[in-house]
Amino acid sequence: MINWNDAKKAFTEYLQIEKNASEYTIDYYQSDIENFFGFLKQQAIDQLELVDHQVVRTYLTTLYEKKLSRRSVSRKISSLRSFYKFLDRETYVEVNPFTQVTLPKTDQPVPGFLYAEELERLFEVSDLTTETGQRNQAILELIYATGIRVSECTGLKLEDIDFDIGTLLVRGKGRKERYLPFGRFAEAAMQNYINNGREKLLQKTANPSSAVFLNARGNPLTARGLRLILEKMVKDAALTVHLHPHKLRHTFATHLLNEGADLRVVQELLGHEHLSSTQIYTHVTKDHLRKIYMNSHPRAKHKND
């Protein structure tokens, strides 16, 4: 028999070591597990192995009573299913009570993306005479050029960039590596930053790093720092959109598909394990497809067109 805290600690170590999960993902798992532990205390259940299918059904009912979205409920159940799968593997419990639970169907949110006009305003906002301006421009150009995630961007090392052939070595989820091409605009911004702005930022620290992107004190840029940079760029550009790094990733995928890129190619570029993860971007291109159809099909146009 294992107590709750030891079970959570063992599962967290499994996520960190075996799954190489990000801190963001681990925080979600821990939050979902703690929420479930709180429910068990209310039900006077003091052992993890006493949880059966009926207990799980009762827990589901309490989640729905809290008016949680289907997406939130689905995530919590998925987290607990993984938690109990680990406990079963380690023989801490005999069965996984979440195995037979059907996850509620979730509405696929349509990813937000930026239009070309909005992007142009962002590309013009940085002061390229300053080291931070050069860095910010390089970040913007690189994320839009490659669609990399925040963690992948902040994790980039100088040796991961090959300017000779215009590619990046990116370390994605689950330690999976992929090579991504980048174009001339990203190359120019990166060369300018690395050869100028980054050298000046390095002079502000006694602990030099091989990280590509540095903060104003010369230390490796964090994910939170990158988000704040993008938020400030939006404010400086006087845009009313809410820009998070993932929206640039969405924009990258959407613009590729709008220009006729193959869905499988976009899947590889984004580092998605399953094609279904990439297919959400087809929803945002339907307006584009409709315009092509209306303008191209001989029987699609109205008489007065």
List the CATH number of the domain containing 214: 1.10.443.10
Strand partners, 181: 167
Residue 105's pLDDT is what? 63
Distance CA 125, CA 265 (A): 31
- Of the candidates 219, 217, 156, the one whose C-alpha atom is nearest the C-alpha of residue 182 is 156
Asked if 142 and 190 touch (Cβ cutoff 8 Å), the reply is yes
Its domain, for residue 57, covers 4-89
Q: Write out the chain's pLDDT in tens, 305 residues.
A: 678 899 999 999 999 888 888 787 899 999 999 999 999 999 999 999 999 988 998 999 898 888 888 888 888 999 999 999 999 999 999 889 998 887 766 555 556 777 778 888 888 989 999 999 999 999 999 999 998 988 899 999 999 999 999 999 998 876 788 999 999 999 999 999 999 999 999 999 998 899 999 999 999 999 899 989 988 888 888 877 777 777 888 888 888 888 888 888 888 888 887 787 777 777 666 666 677 777 776 767 655 55
The type of residue at 245 is P
Residue 35's pLDDT is what? 94
In a domain, 157, yes or no: yes
Paired tokens of 266: 């976009």
Distance CA 149, CA 153 (A): 6
In a domain, 208, yes or no: yes
Whether residues 85 and 120 share a domain: the answer is: no
Q: What is the DSSP letter of 195?
A: I
Whether residues 121 and 207 share a domain: the answer is: yes
pTM tops 0.75: no
Residues catalogued as catalytic: 149, 173, 246, 249, 272, 281
Distance CA 109, CA 23 (A): 24
- Of the candidates 134, 150, 305, the one whose C-alpha atom is nearest the C-alpha of residue 221 is 150
Q: Residue 191: CB partners within 8 Å, gap ≥ 6?
A: 163
Whether residues 147 and 284 share a domain: the answer is: yes
Paired tokens of 124: 């013009």
In a domain, 49, yes or no: yes
How many domains does the chain divide into?
2
Whether residues 85 and 121 share a domain: the answer is: no
Asked if 101 and 77 touch (Cβ cutoff 8 Å), the reply is yes
Whether residues 128 and 40 share a domain: the answer is: no
